Amino acid sequence: MKHLNRLTALFACSFILLTSCSKETENSIRPSATQQSAQVTSTTREKINQLRASLPAGVEAKLKERSALLLQTDPQYREKVRSVLAIEPTACNDNTPVNQWFDQQLVGWNNEVIGYVLDFAMLDLPTYDALVFENSSNGQTFGVNGEYTQTLTKTFKDLQRFWNIQSADIVLAAMHGNMLTNRDRIIRTYVAVYDVDPATAGILADIVTMLADEIPQYRDGNHPIFTFNAFAQQGFNFPPYGRIPDKIIMGDGIMDAFAATGYGDVAPQAILAHEFGHQVQFQLNLFGTVQSPEATRRTELMADAYAAYYLSHARGAAMQWKRVQQFLGVFFNIGDCSITSNGHHGTPTQRFAAAQWGYNLANDAQKQGHILSSQEFARLFEAQLPVFVKK
Mean pLDDT of 179-196: 97
Report the chain's mean pLDDT, rounded to a whole number. 84
Nearest in space to 250 (alpha carbons), one of 231, 278, 226, 224: 231
Q: Which residue has the higher pLDDT, 56 or 296?
A: 56
pLDDT at residue 16 greater than cutoff 70? no
Q: pLDDT band at residue 134, thresholds of 50, 70 and 90?
A: very high
Q: How confident is the model at residue 337 (pLDDT cuts 50, 70, 90)?
A: low
* 140 close to 149: Cβ distance less than 8 angstroms: yes
Q: What per-residue confidence (pLDDT) applies to 28? A: 32
Q: Band of the pLDDT at 367, cuts 50, 70, 90?
A: confident
The domains of the chain are located at 6-389
User: Considering the chain, what percentage of its residues have pLDDT values greater than 90?
Assistant: 68
What confidence category does residue 127 fall into, taking pLDDT thresholds of 50, 70 and 90?
very high
Name the E strands within 147-285. 171-175, 230-233, 236-237, 243-244, 247-251
Residue 35 reports pLDDT greater than 60: no
- Rounded mean pLDDT of 315-337? 85
Strand partners, 174: 250
Residues 38-48 have a mean pLDDT of 87
Cα–Cα dist 65/22, whole Å:
7
159 closest CA partner among 306, 251, 276, 266? 276
Residue 27's pLDDT band, with cuts at 50, 70 and 90, is: very low
DSSP code per residue over 63-116: HHHHHHT---SSTHHHHHHHHHTTSS---S-S-SHHHHHHHHHTTT--HHHHHH
According to DSSP, the residues that pair with 171 across neighbouring strands are 247
CA distance 374 to 379: 9
- Is the model more confident about 228 or about 341? 228
Range scoring the smallest mean pLDDT among 61-70, 219-228, 371-380: 61-70
Mean pLDDT along residues 96-116: 90
pLDDT tens-place string over residues 277-320:
999 999 999 987 777 888 888 999 999 999 999 999 999 999 99
Cα 137 from Cα 169, distance rounded (Å): 9
- What is the percent of the chain with per-residue pLDDT over 70, rounded to a whole number? 79
Tell me what pLDDT residue 172 has: 99
CA distance 344 to 293: 5
Single-letter code of the amino acid located at 14? S
